[in-house]
Amino acid sequence: MLRTVIIEDEPLVANDLKKMLGELLPDAQLQGVLTSVKAAKKWFAENPEPDLAFVDIQLADGVSFEIFTRTDYLPGGQENPVIGGNTIQCPVIFTTAYSEYAVRAFKLNSIDYLLKPIDREELKLALDKFQRLRQNMSVDWSVQITRLLRDLQHNEPDKNKYKERFMVQSRGRMLPVNSASIACFYRDEIIFLITHDNHRHVSEFNTLEELEKLLNPAAFFRANRQYIVHLNSVDGFRSHATGKLTVYLKPPLELELDISREKAVAFKDWLAGEAQ
């Protein structure tokens, strides 16, 4: 029987993931839903490792990479950090609403990563990949996790050096566009750059994930799978009873974008200048 654990502090996300896992892996046993770095460290110190862990990157009390530093617990629950070693040596599928982290490192050294809101078909593909790799007994997941942490440390972008100019195609020529002039990026087979005056250009990038690593998160927000928006292009938003948001972009764009309930709080914090 496949044993799984979920490390996720958003109840709606955790419940959705549990439901999808129940449908896709009906014979699997969910051993727990852990909602913080501290709770996860304690759980792994006291329980056998699962066969597969779903790990949210950003938890309420810190970044989940801290879980990979082994922690022993003294009587009374007091933490006793141990130098060296990993808490988690089982296969990991990361989940995240953000992608300023080294996405390439996730792909190379974990089973996969899933962007929130988690798509059922993408989850199925990640589980299929896990089942294939599981048959390869030569995979040392403790080595993979060590490489992941090393690559994250070396590859995380310098927060003070975001890309300021982007090259676009216009009338057979390549032209530079300053980041402050960009209203949004839009994906529709290819990636378009749209300026505040509603000029649309073909960008030189293949995915929005590539772009996110280059953009200043204080100025740009990944609204959904199709749009990254600039702060100065937002004309307000409307909340729905379901928890999702409809975001309105300023004229002359006059676009309406949907933001899922899972990302709604992060968007509001970003708009108010309170994002971490």
pLDDT higher than 50, residue 179: yes
Of 98, 122, 64, 119, the residue nearest 265 (C-alpha): 98
Burial of 207 per CB tally in 10 Å (0-12, 13-18, 19+): exposed
Note the pLDDT of residue 79. Answer: 47
> How open is the CA angle 134-46-147, to the nearest 5 degrees?
45
pLDDT band at 12 (very low <50, low <70, confident <90, very high): confident
Alpha-carbon distance of 252 to 270, in angstroms, equals 23
Of 220, 168, 164, 221, the residue nearest 193 (C-alpha): 168
Length, in residues, of the chain: 276
Greater confidence, 229 or 144?
229
| Chain segment 35-66, per-residue pLDDT in tens | 999 999 999 989 999 999 999 887 878 778 78
Cis peptide before 252 (omega within 30 of 0): yes
The CATH code of the domain at 3-155 is: 3.40.50.2300
Helix/strand/coil (H/E/C) assignment for every residue in the chain: CCEEEEECCCHHHHHHHHHHHHHHCCCCEEEEEECCHHHHHHHHHHCCCCCEEEEECEECCEEHHHHHCCEEECCCCCEEECCCCCCCCCCEEEEECCCCCCHHHHHHHCCEEEECCCCHHHHHHHHHHHHHHHCCCCCCHHHHHHHHHHHHHHHCCCCCCCCCEEEEEECCEEEEEEHHHEEEEEEECEEEEEECCCCEEEECCCCHHHHHCCCCCCCEEECCCCEEEEHHHEEEEEECCCCCEEEEECCCCCCEEEECHHHHHHHHHHHCCCCC
pLDDT higher than 70, residue 156: no
Note the pLDDT of residue 23. Answer: 95
| 189 Rama class: left (phi>0) / alpha (psi -120 to 50) / beta | left
Q: Are 50 and 90 in contact (CB under 8 A)?
A: yes
Note the pLDDT of residue 13. Answer: 85
Q: 115: which strand partners?
A: 96
Greater confidence, 100 or 246?
246
pLDDT band at 153 (very low <50, low <70, confident <90, very high): low
Domain 3-155 matches domain 165-271 at the CATH topology level: no
Note the pLDDT of residue 59. Answer: 82
pLDDT band at 115 (very low <50, low <70, confident <90, very high): confident
The CATH code of the domain at 165-271 is: 2.40.50.1020
Question: What does the domain layout of the chain look like in residue ranges?
Answer: 3-155, 165-271
Of 36, 55, 46, the residue nearest 93 (C-alpha): 55
**Which distant-in-sequence residues (6+ apart) come within 8 Å of 178 by Cβ?**
164, 165
pLDDT higher than 90, residue 24: yes
Token pair in block for residue 167: 């090259």
Note the pLDDT of residue 167. Answer: 84
Alpha-carbon distance of 142 to 82, in angstroms, equals 16
Note the pLDDT of residue 60. Answer: 76
Note the pLDDT of residue 26. Answer: 94
pLDDT band at 130 (very low <50, low <70, confident <90, very high): confident
Of 21-25, 152-156, 212-216, 266-270, the one with minimum mean pLDDT is: 152-156
Task: Tell me the mean pLDDT in the region 239-244.
Answer: 94
pLDDT higher than 50, residue 77: no
pLDDT higher than 90, residue 150: no
| Chain segment 191-202, per-residue pLDDT in tens | 999 999 999 998
pLDDT band at 127 (very low <50, low <70, confident <90, very high): very high
What's this model's pTM, rounded to 2 decimal places? Answer: 0.51
Across the chain, what does the average pLDDT equal? 81
Longest dimension (CA), the chain: 71
Note the pLDDT of residue 227. Answer: 96
Torsion sign, CA atoms 250, 255, 261, 263: negative
pLDDT over 90 for what percent of the chain? 43
Task: Tell me the mean pLDDT in the region 90-105.
Answer: 65
